[in-house]
Structure formats: structure tokens, C-alpha cells
Chains A and B, each alone.
Chain A
């Protein structure tokens, strides 16, 4: 008992200065460690690729202080992909030794001074990422400090937040969480890539208060017999809001409020809401519109990119939305345009079919996808993860017959132990 009290006193004291804890990399870094690592940096490479989350964070900070662009490449890109994306693949050749003047720029004496420098970053600084589409070649988009931190809240109310890091750090949402935590000097706990057991262990041990993740992430870690009272706020984004998982999370994290965020790599975070409807704020009034059910964003809201195709001043997001009200504009996300599956001329929204299957008792997750077919162009198929043997193909079909049109019902149903995900934790569609 005494040991436990001592541990908690030590932890309470330490947590004020801790920066990052990673149970997979077995790494604990304090803000002093971070400062030392920044101060001792002697070389820099704008083309950054690493499987270490901490290295990503450190190099972003170094790039800001040096006022140099950082181009973040996903660690799972193949050499061939990298060559296609940036024109070469020998990243080591771009490593530069820093000049004395540059090393001087990295000498900061305190975290307060570091944060001040980051907040006053040069407007020319940019961070470039590659969009995480499930098909096609990734697109390079470059964000300024302003666009990447558009939704970051800095206030004394956030000083004791502990962030659960539930995205890949090369993903825009991961970088946004990093800045939210850093600029409030919070502790970051890695949760991405953890097993369900380890997830619960880490959240409880470090009293994680804030988690931002995709619906798929939450579905994978959900348990109906555990409660996490430390979590005070959940942010959900990246995929269509799954109301069923939100209801479940409210039971698992009873003290948490939640925010649904509309964000993309191309535009950063744009809208936030307490449910699945987004009211477009006055400041975005003339920068957002809906055409043929597709959400269009004015180029002034976009990150810089040569790879994005514009129609005049407008970017077609590929997001299909429903207009709920026109003044002010209120929209609801329906699906991704390119995710609609064409079955013999009928458009099937895989998210709708997934919602229907997920509402069957005993189904923990599902992936609906298209299989090319010589008869209808595509055939709807699905993979189901179930928690018991009561979920049978017959029962699934019987239920779907009642709630979906025939052409939307998967014709091939497979039961699997787990779903394959993209590198950003989203369900693979193809």
C-alpha cells in the first residue's frame, strides 16, 4: 500500500514534466529529455522517414526551429513508392550537417522558450504529408503552422490533459494531436498499435483524459466489461460517424464528452460537432458549398499542393453529404463518393451496409467491399468479426432482408478473426 502511494506521488510529480510514453518502443521521454535532444541535434534531413513516433515529434520541432520544410514519408512506403512520390529513394543523401548558425537556432533553455518559438514560427515553414487514400497514388500536401493547428486549443484549462495517441504520427490527425498536447505541455501516451489489453492498461495507468481516433480504432478496443473513468473527452474523425460505437463508448467512458470532427489531409480540421450533423460557421460561409450532393471546399481553406485538382476555385472533396438546412448550411456526411459501389447500375454505400450488419447483436466489426464481377460490374461482399457462434450467415441474411434492398445485401459473407486496416487505421475497401 505504501509502495503504491509512493508510486502515485512520484508519478503525479513526474507527470508534470513527462512528454511521451511509448510501451511498444519501450521509451519514456520527459520535456527535459526533449529539450536536450533538440539542443544536441547536429544534422537535419527534410525527407523524414522513421518508425519511431518520438523521432517524428522531435524532427517536426527541429524543422520549425530551423525554419525548414519537413516532408514526412510513411515508414511502410516501399522504395519504389518513394521514388515515384519524390523522384529518388536514397533519403540518406539529403542528410545535411547543420551550420553553426543553425545549431544556434536549436539552443533553447526552457520548455517555455521552446513553445514560444514554436508559436512564433516563420510563416514560410511547412509540413508536407502524403494523403492516405486506399487507392491511387498518394498526393503530397503541404500545411503551414496555421492550417495544421487550426483547431488546437491553448489554455490553462488544458494544462493537465493527458493525451492518448491513437493515430499514426505520419497522419494529419496524429500531427494535430501532437501539437495540441505539445502546445499545452501535456503528456502523450501511445495507444496506436496496442492490443486491447495493453490499451486498457495504459489508459488506466497514466489516467489518459483525451483520446482522438477513428471509429474503427474504437471498435477494435471496445470492451463491454471495462470502464475508463479517467477519459474526459473523445474526438472521433476520419470516417463516417458510427453512432453504435458512440453509444458503447459512452458506457465504457461514462465521464467523457465527445466531438465529431470533419477533417482531411487536404484541408486539415474544418468542422466539429456533437453529433453527425455539421453546421457551417459564419467564417466558412462562402468557402464551403454542396454541388450534386458533393462537398466542395474553396481553395483558400486548402493546404498547398500541386497534386490536388481544382475546378476553378473549388476542390471536390469526394465526400457525399446530405443538406439538412440551408441557412446556416447544415450538412451530414453520407459516404465517400469513390466508395460507392456500382452494382449493375445501382449505387451501394458500403457504410450503410456496414451499419446494418453492425446493428446485429454479436457482430463486433464488419468490412463491406466490392468484388469485380462479369455480370453486374461488382458484387457486394463482406467480412464479419463476431463475438460468439450465434452470428451465422443465415441469421445475417435473414436480418438484412428486412432492412436492406436486395442489391445491397452481401452475396458472399466470410467470418474472420480480424479485419485488415490501412496504415492509418481505416478499413480497406478494395
Chain B
């Protein structure tokens, strides 16, 4: 369920940029290289995740991968 919410958040950001949505997330997916997120996208990602889960995933420094976010949220694939 939480994985679906995260997928929706990522797709919202991609869609707002006019980019194509993705069908699934994997832990190894890199935010910058694979999803092509820039700093504004990452900032938006953290705000949207915080609104849903109440956790600021970048509070202690940037996270590189989807797996890193899942760890912060204590979600297991």
C-alpha cells in the first residue's frame, strides 16, 4: 500500500513536468540518474512524502535511491 502511495507521488512529480509515468518502483532505482530528478523535484518529493507519511526523508542528508527512501519510511519491498 505504502509502495503504491510512493509510486503515485513519483508519478505526480513526473506528470507535473510533462514526463511519462512509470509502472513500478524498485529499490535500486536512482532518484537523479534513473528518474532524472533535479533539486526542485527532490524538494517536492520530500514535501509530498512528508505530507503522506509525516517523515522528512532528507532531514539528515540526501537519499540517493528509492531503496533509501523505503528505509527511511521503514517500508520493505
Partners in one complex: yes
Chain A CB within 8 A of B59 CB: yes
Contact between B16 and A379 (Cβ–Cβ < 8 Å)?
Answer: no
A232 at the interface (CB under 8 A from B): no
- In chain A, what residue has the closest Cβ to B12? A393
Contact partner, B58, options A374, A397, A406, Cβ 8 Å = A374
Residues of A within 8 A of B64 (CB): none
- B18 to chain A minimum Cβ distance, whole angstroms, is 8
Shortest C-beta distance, B36 to chain A (Å), equals 14
Return A1 CB to nearest CB of chain B, in Å. Answer: 60
**A22 CA to B44 CA, complexed, in Å:** 47
A375's partner among B16, B18, B39 (CB-CB below 8 A) is B39
A376 to B18, CA, bound (A): 22
The answer to whether B40 touches A407 (Cβ under 8 A) is: yes
Q: Does A411 contact B (CB under 8 A)?
A: yes
Nearest opposing residue in chain B for A381, CB measure = B47
Docked complex Cα distance between A371 and B58 (Å): 15
Question: Does B42 lie at the interface of the complex (its beta carbon under 8 Å from any beta carbon of A)?
Answer: yes
A406, B44: Cβ atoms closer than 8 Å: no
How far is it, in angstroms, between the C-alpha of A4 and the C-alpha of B59 when the chains are bound? 69
Residues of A near B46 (CB, < 8 A) are 373-375
A412 at the interface (CB under 8 A from B): yes
- Whether the Cβ atoms of B40 and A376 lie closer than 8 Å is yes
The total of Cβ contacts below 8 Å across the A-B interface reads 40
Task: Answer yes or no: A344 CB below 8 A from chain B CBs.
Answer: yes
Chain A residues with CB under 8 A of B40: 343-344, 376, 406-407, 411
Which of A374, A397, A401, A411 sits near B56, CB closer than 8 Å? A374
Min CB distance A405 to B, Å, is 11
Give the distance in Å from the alpha carbon of A343 to the alpha carbon of B18 in the complex: 22
At the interface, yes or no: B43 with Cβ under 8 Å from chain A? yes
Q: Is the CB of B44 within 8 A of A411?
A: yes
- Which residue of the partner chain B has the closest CB to A407? B40
- Complex Cα gap A122–B20 (Å): 73
Instruction: Please report whether the interface of chain B is mostly helix, strand, loop or mixed according to DSSP.
Output: helix
- Beta-carbon nearest neighbor of B41 in chain A: A411
CB-CB nearest in chain A for B51 = A412
> What per-residue 1/0 map shows which CB atoms of B17-59 lie under 8 Å from chain A?
0100000000000000000000110111011100000001011
Interface string of A391-408 (1 = CB under 8 A from B): 001100110010000110
Return the chain B residue nearest A373 by Cβ.
Answer: B43
Contacts of B42 in A (CB 8 A): 375
Inter-chain contact B16/A376, CB cutoff 8 Å: no
Docked Cα-Cα span, A393 to B15, in Å, equals: 11
Task: Say yes or no: A411-B47 contact (C-beta < 8 A), given A374-B56, A374-B59, A375-B58.
Answer: yes
**Is B3 on the interface with A (CB-CB < 8 A)?**
no
> Does B62 make an interface contact (CB < 8 A)?
yes
A49 vs chain B, min Cβ distance (A): 39
In the bound complex, do residue B56 and residue A344 qualify as a contact, i.e. CB atoms below 8 Å apart?
no
| Contacts A374-B56, A374-B58, A397-B16 given; does A379 touch B44 at CB 8 Å | yes
Q: How far is the CB of A314 from chain B (nearest CB, A)?
A: 37
Q: Are B39 and A379 in touch, CB under 8 angstroms?
A: no
Q: List, sorted by A's number, 24 A–B pairs whose CB atoms are closer than 8 Å.
A: A343-B40, A344-B39, A344-B43, A371-B47, A373-B43, A373-B46, A374-B46, A374-B56, A375-B43, A375-B46, A376-B39, A376-B43, A379-B44, A379-B47, A397-B16, A398-B18, A401-B18, A406-B40, A411-B16, A411-B40, A411-B43, A412-B44, A412-B47, A412-B48
